[in-house]
Amino acid sequence: MMSNLFLKPQLHLLPIPSKFIFSHTFNKPSITFSTTASFSYGPSLHKSTNPHHQNDDDVDILNEQTFTRVFNLAALRVPSAECSSLENRLRGHLLNWPRIRNIARVPGDEIDPSIAPLLGQQIHAEDDNKGKSDENGDFLISSSVLYRDKLAKTFNTRGYVNFRNLAKISRPKRNKKNEKEGEFVEVEGNKRVGKNGYVEVEVVEEENGVDEGLRKLIGEEFVNSKWRGSTRLLLLDERYKNCGVEELPEAIKAVLKEYAEKSTTLTFELVRCKLTLFYDYWQMNEILEAMLPEGMIVPTAFETVGHIAHLNLREEHLPYKKLIAKVVLDKNKPKIRTVANKIDSIDNEYRTMQLEVLAGNHSLVTTLTENGLRFHVDLAKVYWNSRLGTERQRLLSGFTRNDVVCDVFSGVGPLAISAAKIVKRVFANDLNPYAVEYLERNSVLNKLERKIKVFNMDGRRFIKAMFASDKAHSITQVVMNLPNDAAEFLDAFRGIYKDRPKDGEFTFPMIHVYGFSKAEDPEFNFHERIRIALLEVAVNVDMRRVRLVAPGKWMLCASFILPKSVAFANTAVDA
Ligand SMILES: C[S@@+](CC[C@H](N)C(=O)[O-])C[C@H]1O[C@@H](n2cnc3c(N)ncnc32)[C@H](O)[C@@H]1O
């Protein structure tokens, strides 16, 4: 016998999609709706209907409801036991939207296996169903309630319900994993709604014909709940949203027919449903693009330091800075807890960023991990750049346990502390007293304080002091990471050994100096700066481009052994 394949009437076409636009009123952005529509494949904030409207007065407050979009779709209601294999067979015809499962569960699609025989249906136990639909894990309020009611009607021979765990059974089972993710299924009035926090599926239209035998057996209230056994919705591709059964592709019909012929009790239905996507569904760039005026560059790039995201907003973004920050925060939770904007370029002596906190908590003190080590940083007071992590790694890979490292501009110690794990000893210095304070704290935090000696002085004085001391002979590596000016500090090496006997034992350290160059030939240009500072030509310089920090502006690293002629030069510079 053939299984049922119900026919459904067609849906009305969707209303014209709406799109947000912003326009300026008294320097404040206001939000209006336009009817601009773009009909691309897949979900989009520019498509479909939005049941909410942004209030023009709330321009500094993000109204999440305005990003709710409702899409009309068609779905096949299929027996849950067949759902996974049908999903595989129908794959090319199912909804293929990012982050949307094409198997949906809605309340009322469950049946308890012990009740199945009463209905004469061939139902597989839920636990036996290893299909993907079970991964969805929504718990169903209606099925257990229906089951409880059914049991309540089952009298034993003495005329009362003989069931000890009635209360326990009627309590819906909780699936811890999905509960954590906020997945649940709700019954809203008579609607069947499957929800997982950012998407909701609601069956809006289905076959009204009800089996009379079923009505007699399970009662009117169950009939209203469309209790027909465990089922799932297979969401069909959006191109079928208005199709009747006859208009479905032959491939779909053939598969359903094949399944139907396997069993006398299988039932398939074509139903209409509404798929609602909430603010949480959309990605950061989608929200920002819909929110900002057309043609404006969407600011999606930001740097992170621990829990802080710092943006580099353009002038044109400033009227929307709070909205932008809120979206960045929402879309990068929980890792990001503070969103700030860089309000000035870094040009102060301590290389700290001027940040304006726009969203989240206002603390600029954060903890981060680099190279397996932990660092405390206060971005308001000290320098940190996570982008230099790879470069630090490269430098560290050249160090050995016989090295003694001098970090002239150490900051809070990302290189100095990492080096301390590898080398014999580290001398770390910074002019910024806060950086030195954090450097000491971070050394202790990583239990490396015994290998690091910390100094708080000007870099030039530090170089001269180190090479005038008895430590001079042990220093094998010098790191100078202050790209704006480090090359000019090289003059401090002139004459560092001039007062020592020439026949003594000396170490000529390897110097790694960083610099910026906007020149056409950045290597040549940086080489020249080094030559001018040393008053000598450094030979065998290993010059490498570290990264492009701005269009046409390179950060370079030059590594070379301190020339003997420089160390013994008679013309030393005064500190
Ligand atoms: C670009 S940061 C590099 C910090 C560290 N090496 C890092 O990678 O995070 C330069 C550091 O040099 C320090 N500095 C600036 N001028 C200095 C000077 N004259 N002497 C010593 N340190 C200085 C700043 O306080 C800052 O911490």
Kindly report, residue by residue over 397-443, the tens digit of the pLDDT: 999 999 999 999 999 999 999 999 999 999 999 999 999 999 999 99
> Looking at the predicted structure, is the pLDDT value of residue 219 above 90?
no
Cβ neighbours around 494 below 10 Å, total: 21
Q: Which residue, judged by its Cα, is nearest atom 19 of ligand 1?
A: 458
- Tell me the pLDDT band of 131, cut-offs 50, 70 and 90: very low
Q: What is the pLDDT of residue 42?
A: 82
Strand 103-104 and strand 184-188: the pairing is unpaired
- Tell me the pLDDT band of 158, cut-offs 50, 70 and 90: low
Nearest-atom number in ligand 1 for the CA of 485 is 16
Beta bridge partner(s), residue 256: none
CATH number of 387-567: 3.40.50.150
Ligand 1 pocket test: pick from 351, 409, 479 the residue with the most ligand atoms within 8 Å of its Cβ: 409
SS (H, E, C) 176-208: HHHHHCCCEEEEECCEEEEECCCEEEEEEECCC
pLDDT in tens, 53-97: 555 555 567 889 899 999 999 999 888 888 899 999 998 999 999
Nearest-atom number in ligand 1 for the CA of 458 is 20
Mean pLDDT of 499-507: 81
Query: Cα separation of 271 and 526, whole Å?
Result: 70
Domain ranges of the chain: 4-281, 299-363, 387-567
Q: Ligand 1 centroid to 410 CA: how many Å? A: 6
Q: Ligand 1 centroid to 449 CA: how many Å? A: 20
Q: Which residue, judged by its Cα, is nearest atom 6 of ligand 1?
A: 410
**ipTM, 2 dp:** 0.99
Mean pLDDT of 550-556: 96
Query: Cα separation of 371 and 416, whole Å?
Result: 12
Q: Ligand 1 centroid to 561 CA: how many Å? A: 22
Query: Cα separation of 30 and 20, whole Å?
Result: 10
3-state helix, strand and coil shares in percent for the chain, rounded to the nearest 5: 30, 25, 45
pLDDT in tens, 7-41: 232 222 222 222 222 222 223 333 333 334 445 67
Lining ligand 1 with CB less than 6 A are: 349-351, 383-385, 388, 409-411, 414-415, 430-432, 435, 458-459, 481-482
**Of 494, 493, 469, which Cα lies nearest the Cα of 480?**
493
The CATH fold of domain 299-363: GMP Synthetase; Chain A, domain 3 (3.30.300)
Q: Which residue, judged by its Cα, is nearest atom 4 of ligand 1?
A: 411
pLDDT in tens, 343-367: 877 678 899 999 999 999 999 999 9
Nearest-atom number in ligand 1 for the CA of 382 is 27
Q: Ligand 1 centroid to 382 CA: how many Å? A: 9
Question: What proportion of the chain, given as a percentage, has pLDDT over 90?
Answer: 54
* Mean pLDDT, rounded, of the chain: 79
Nearest-atom number in ligand 1 for the CA of 479 is 6
Q: What is the pLDDT of residue 230?
A: 82
Q: Ligand 1 centroid to 435 CA: how many Å? A: 8
> Looking at the predicted structure, is the pLDDT value of residue 135 above 70?
no
Q: Six-digit token pair at 182?
A: 């906020």
Nearest-atom number in ligand 1 for the CA of 410 is 6
- Tell me the pLDDT band of 245, cut-offs 50, 70 and 90: confident
